[in-house]
Amino acid sequence: MRAIRSFSAPLATLRRLAVTVGLLATLAGCGGSGDFFSFPPQVRGNKVDEDLLAQLVPGTSTRQDVIALIGSPTTKAAFDDNTWIYISEVTRPVIAGTQGVEDQKVFVVTFDQKGVMTGVTKKTQADSMPVDVVDRTTPSPGTEASWLQQLLGNVGKFSAAAPDSTSGKPGTSTNPGNF
């Protein structure tokens, strides 16, 4: 009996070892560079192919030509419909679900009043301007409650009286219903 117990203990240890080695081999086969735990890059916006953009000729290409080659713009300038902006960004999720920007391209296409393209400009990170975010809230009247109002806020709102048996039935004053 003692021989069986001593034989089954190493067998269980060998099983655990085999399972552990199998799991490690599976994880190792999924990509040695950390691809198993990474997410694929995500393309956001309108990614402009620079080879197609080079086919557009200032002075001869029209708005229809631009749309046919590179698609609709991501946005237009706020006060000028003759300035189209194409924004593309390649992001990858990082810690806490935030997006890390791997690549960003911005192209500005301008047109004259007749709809003929006048030029294309590529914007870079050096062209960007910092934006200061204001950290404040707009107060709305009636929402500020003192600690006493918060403590006693629900006192008297609910009554223990039995509900009226006729309210809500068809034909009563609260629910005229169909006669």
CATH number at residue 67: 3.30.1450
pLDDT at 21: 73
pTM of this prediction?
A: 0.53
**Which residue from 75, 43, 41, 71 is spatially nearest to 56, judged by alpha carbons?**
71
pLDDT at 151: 76
Domain assignment of residue 82, given as a range = 41-126
116: in domain:
yes
Q: How many domains are there within the chain?
A: 1
140: in domain:
no
148: in domain:
no
pLDDT at 34: 52
pLDDT at 121: 93
20: in domain:
no
DSSP secondary structure string for all residues of the chain: -HHHHHHHHHHHHHHHHHHHHHHHHHHHHT-TTSGGG----EEEE-PPPHHHHHT--TTT-BHHHHHHHH-S-SEEETTEEEEEEEEEEEEEE-GGGPEEEEEEEEEEEEE-TTSBEEEEEEE-GGG----PPP------TT----HHHHHSTTTTTS--PPPPSSTTSTTSSS-----
162: in domain:
no
pLDDT at 115: 93
pLDDT at 172: 59
pLDDT at 94: 79
pLDDT at 135: 82
Chunked into runs of 10 residues, the chain (179 residues) has average pLDDT values of 55 76 65 60 85 91 93 91 91 80 90 94 86 82 74 70 59 56
- Token pair belonging to 105: 């391209």
135: in domain:
no
pLDDT at 68: 93
117: in domain:
yes
Measured CA to CA, the distance from residue 30 to residue 20 in angstroms comes to: 16
